[in-house]
Amino acid sequence: MTWVPSTAAERDAMLSVIGVQTIDDLFASVPAELRAKSWALPAGISEMAVRARLEKWAARNAGGVTSFLGGGAYDHFIPAAVDALTSRSEFYTAYTPYQPECSQGTLQSIYEYQSAICRLTGLDYANASLYDGGTAVFEATTMAVRLTRRTRIVCHASLNPIYRSMLETHVANLDLELVDGESPEGAACVIVQNPGFLGDIEDFTALAERCHEEGALLVMSFYPISLGLLKTPGEIGVDIAIAEGQCLGVPLNFGGPWLGIMATRKEHVRKMPGRIAAATEDAQGRRGFVLTLQAREQHIRREKAMSNICSNEALCALRALVYLTLLGKEGLRDVARHCHSKAEYLKKRLSFAQILNHGPTFNEFAVRLPRNAEEAADALVSRGFLAGLPLASLGAGEPNDLLIAVTERRTREELDAFAHALEEVCN
């Protein structure tokens, strides 16, 4: 099987233009003793057969279930126009806009995306995106280290434990001190998450002030949809805001590709990692867009670059942009309002369980069930529900603790049925 268009006759003609006899002559620089010692791969199969195999595998994954699973990735509704527009091949088969004149679609979309993120977060500058929410924590950390020339990193208890463990992996060989707590004293940054991993909304305004008094930065991982309602990172006094942007029109994708969001204050922009698009003009005064401040990046600065990142999740950023553009000013608030109200409704229906959050939550909360959470969740799959995340599996709770997320997709009927089913399996 092949996607090579050349026929045998064409290959022969090309070989004769080159001036060699066989294709193997072109590989003369690879010595015989260095040739592949094995090539034990299956024979190719037709497009039809590939599809059949993958359809079979896809069918062996949970489908058609009503989901209350969150923990950093959420089952939000994706309007049809998001798929229709982002599946245009002018977007998905293009490369990094190194030649701006033939990439204005890409560059303007990045500029509009950066603008949307700034408007969402209340911060001055956003980059063109990072890999995902977890690696964004690492990038924000090294950015804070560059800005403060300090080496202590403080992780607040609200931070997603997976992000915390990814950070640990990435800094393992650096001279950084990773501590848990919230004291900004002597720290490069304090990293918080809002709403926290267990769903709690906190007002970190006072912590931001304390950070600034101590010369530390406040890094906050936020949930983009929640900013339809919640106080913005800008209003809180956050220095570097980061997020997992999957909730903005990107499918769950079993973990990726997703979208790493980063925004910061004006004074920090030259230490920010990642691509940035900017508006400028051509000689005739026409507005156009280019990648800018590239002297921060690896292809110019090599080992002295702000980051090693050499891509952005551009297609996912485009999805987020189309999603936010479709929702608009009122739409985003509506989605957030529905998520929050429906979660509050469900909370009240779970009187048989203990709600573990003491303050306000947005669309996710933790409960202690009268039964082991993994067993309850397992039993509910056959009733058509993904009940939530058993917290003990991440070391983030007791065996009976379950993290439940509610999005705008859940109807009152589903919430009632789920509350009923959960109560039944717990009894």
Judged by CB under 8 A, the chain residues 374 through 413 that form the site for other proteins are 374-375, 377-378, 381, 386, 389-390, 393-394, 408, 411-412
- Per DSSP bridges, beta strands 177-180 and 152-155 are parallel
Find the binding residues for other proteins in span 260-279 (CB under 8 A): 269, 275-279
User: Cβ closer to other proteins: 147 or 201?
Assistant: 201
Q: How many residues line the site for other proteins (CB under 8 A)?
A: 206
Instruction: State the minimum distance, in angstroms, from the CB of residue 405 to other proteins.
Output: 10
Taking CB under 8 A as the rule, does residue 352 contact other proteins? no
Say if residues 126 and 118 touch (Cβ distance below 8 Å).
Answer: yes
Instruction: State the minimum distance, in angstroms, from the CB of residue 363 to other proteins.
Output: 10
Taking CB under 8 A as the rule, does residue 92 contact other proteins? yes
Among 209, 298, 352, 368, contact with other proteins (rule: CB under 8 A) = 298
> What are 363's two structure tokens?
């669309």
Between the CA of residue 368 and those of 199, 354, 377, 381, 419, what are the distances in Å?
14, 5, 13, 19, 14
Taking CB under 8 A as the rule, does residue 132 contact other proteins? yes
Binding segment toward other proteins, per CB under 8 A, in 11-19, 148-156, 177-185, 213-221:
11-19
User: Cβ closer to other proteins: 187 or 248?
Assistant: 248
Instruction: State the minimum distance, in angstroms, from the CB of residue 110 to other proteins.
Output: 8
User: Cβ closer to other proteins: 185 or 256?
Assistant: 256
Spell out, one character per residue from 203 to 242, where the chain touches other proteins: x when CB under 8 A holds, - when not.
Answer: x-----------------------xxxxxx--x-------
Instruction: State the minimum distance, in angstroms, from the CB of residue 26 to other proteins.
Output: 5
Binding segment toward other proteins, per CB under 8 A, in 144-152, 206-214, 215-223, 249-257:
249-257
Taking CB under 8 A as the rule, does residue 254 contact other proteins? yes
Find the binding residues for other proteins in span 176-195 (CB under 8 A): none
Instruction: State the minimum distance, in angstroms, from the CB of residue 211 to other proteins.
Output: 19
HSE toward the beta carbon, residue 121, CA cutoff 13 A: 32
Among 131, 197, 365, 418, contact with other proteins (rule: CB under 8 A) = 131
Instruction: Single out the residue of 19, 38, 17 nearest to residue 28, CA to CA.
Output: 19
Between the CA of residue 83 and those of 91, 198, 251, 422, what are the distances in Å?
12, 31, 10, 34
User: Cβ closer to other proteins: 235 or 424?
Assistant: 235
Taking CB under 8 A as the rule, does residue 153 contact other proteins? no
Between the CA of residue 346 and those of 22, 40, 323, 355, 381, what are the distances in Å?
70, 54, 27, 11, 18
Taking CB under 8 A as the rule, does residue 309 contact other proteins? yes
Among 21, 23, 206, 215, contact with other proteins (rule: CB under 8 A) = 23
Between the CA of residue 369 and those of 58, 336, 366, what are the distances in Å?
32, 27, 10
Length of the chain: 427
Distance between CA 229 and CA 118 in Å, rounded? 16
Taking CB under 8 A as the rule, does residue 354 contact other proteins? no
Distance between CA 117 and CA 128 in Å, rounded? 10
Taking CB under 8 A as the rule, does residue 280 contact other proteins? yes
Taking CB under 8 A as the rule, does residue 119 contact other proteins? yes
The residues near 386 (Cβ < 8 Å, ≥ 6 apart) are: 62, 65, 66, 67, 68, 69, 377, 380
Distance between CA 18 and CA 41 in Å, rounded? 31
Among 30, 181, 215, 267, contact with other proteins (rule: CB under 8 A) = 30
Taking CB under 8 A as the rule, does residue 8 contact other proteins? no
Say if residues 245 and 117 touch (Cβ distance below 8 Å).
Answer: no
The residues near 361 (Cβ < 8 Å, ≥ 6 apart) are: 195, 199, 200, 201, 343, 347
3 state SS of 32: helix
